[in-house]
Amino acid sequence: MTAFARQDQALAALKARGRYRSLVPREGCDFSSNDYLGLAGSEELRQAAAAALARGVPVGAGGSRLLRGNDAEHERLEAEAAQFFGTEAALFMGGGFNANLAIFSTLPQHGDLVLYDALIHASTHDGMRQGRAETRSFAHNDVADCTRAIAEWKAAGGKGQVWIAVEALYSMDGDIAPLAALSELALRENAVLVVDEAHSTGLFGPGGRGLAHDIASAPHVLSLHTCGKGLGVSGALICGQKVLIETLVNKARTFIFATAPSPLNAALVRASLSLLAGEPDCRARAWDNIRHAWREADRLFGLQGCQSQIIPVVIGCDKRTMRIAESLRQSGFDIRGVRPPTVPRGTARLRISITANVTPEQVTAAFTEVARQLLEEPV
């Protein structure tokens, strides 16, 4: 028996169940990335990078923000992001995962309750595990169930702060949270609404400011905008009341003990925000593709009710899902299969992502091939 026999056995079990994961190089038409506006490889950001390097912006931070890693580019980005998203303050983090770890391990306190949507990001779960508050889930996008959960907690003696954690746009289902109703609930219950805008920033809201923009400035709202999806770079911006941002700076371990994000990266996020603010048509190509994809999904395989750029085609069987995804890749369409535990058991799916990196003709070709595979691939 080798020293890692248990790991070998665990990997073999994953393969037998059709859940083994491996890295696949990017190739073919992009129907899987989160580069919704096509900014990641854009000439605009290449020029912004060259200009930032030319004016002496460092590539590396050299330390944590609280040591010597705090660069002027970080501070400029945070000031501009707070203004752009309409909040008192903002904090730049290395990524959305670390940002959610920071929020949920730091802000809710002992005696508080975190109520989270049943389909919330994995990073939120990890943050809650490290935190001290009680946690409970509520049914996906169900405001009535969230209301019931708060009432039950209070009836049982709960007296702390309630934190309601949701995604504005859900990354695997592509549906949109009822933010207005959740905000009203949070106001009634003196709760804090934490909105993860990861998949809506750049595409939704005025100027790409997100689905929660109308409520983002309210004292009871904290929002998270990741920079590696619609904005085309990397990192994350936590936006909200100054007291919450200062608490994270002073107490969040994933901020205090992490090397600061690259100042060059901060400069590129600033450039992305400037593009959104100054070029209202930069989202038009993506939205043309998205609306075309909705029509083709309905026409070719009867999928109706799409709400966003994320179009899930639920297949159910893990192995069949991955066989179809591989066939699509060999046909020149980079469409990835997603299996449990990323999605609930029995809901393995093709997660089709519509971006500005393709043409309407490529959308039609991809969806035609998906329809063919669904008919021909044995169950």
Of 325, 305, 300, 330, the C-alpha closest to 315 is 325
Q: Say if residue 341 is preceded by a cis peptide, omega within 30 of 0.
A: yes
Active site residue 112: no
Burial of residue 185 (number of CB atoms within 10 Å: 0-12, 13-18, 19+): buried
Single out the catalytic residue among 34, 123, 200, 223: 34
Cα gap 264→209, rounded to integer Å: 22
Single out the catalytic residue among 32, 71, 121, 189: 121
Active site residue 167: yes
Phi/psi region, residue 306 (left: phi>0; alpha: psi -120 to 50; beta: rest), is beta
Single out the catalytic residue among 32, 98, 171, 223: 171
DSSP class of residue 260 equals P
Active site residue 15: no
Cα gap 190→192, rounded to integer Å: 7
Single out the catalytic residue among 30, 73, 167, 197: 167
Q: Identify the helix (H) or strand (E) that includes residue 83.
A: helix 72-85
Single out the catalytic residue among 30, 74, 105, 199: 199
Of 169, 173, 174, 272, the C-alpha closest to 211 is 169
3-state DSSP call for residue 176?
A: strand
Single out the catalytic residue among 35, 71, 73, 196: 196
Cα gap 239→221, rounded to integer Å: 9
Q: Strand 333-334 to strand 336-338: parallel, antiparallel, or no bridges (unpaired)?
A: unpaired
Contact indicator for 171, 150 with CB cutoff of 8 Å? no
Query: What is the SS3 assignment for 130-172?
Result: HCCCEEEEECCCCHHHHHHHHHHHHHCCCCCCEEEEEECECCC
Which alpha helices (H) appear in 252-283, and where do they start and end?
A: 253-256, 263-278
* Residues classed as catalytic: 34, 121, 167, 171, 196, 199, 229
